[in-house]
Amino acid sequence: MGIEEQRNRWREEEEEVSERYGVAFERMRDAQLAVTRQFYPLGNGSPTPESLAAADKARGEFEAIKREFDRIADEIRTGKPS
């Protein structure tokens, strides 16, 4: 694969992962806000197990996408595919 082809592949990957990164961040933020709203004074002081599980899942998905994003950024910086 030529250098220009590699750069185009990285660019496409970066765009796709950037979009997923934004969506995952919003999902994580929304899930965390749902947990926070269950504490006083807005809620009863105790988040539900379901909301905690949703927040954990969203955080895990975000972290996985962040690792992928970081990998691509590192490949672009170094010019070497992993």
The stretch 69-81 carries a mean pLDDT of 87
The stretch 11-33 carries a mean pLDDT of 95
CA distance 55 to 29: 8
The stretch 1-18 carries a mean pLDDT of 86
Amino acid at 30: D
Domains of the chain, by residue range, sit at: 1-20+47-82
CA distance 2 to 57: 39
The stretch 65-69 carries a mean pLDDT of 95
Q: What is the DSSP string of 67-82?
A: HHHHHHHHHHHHT---
Taking 80 as the threshold, does the pLDDT of residue 1 lie above it?
A: no
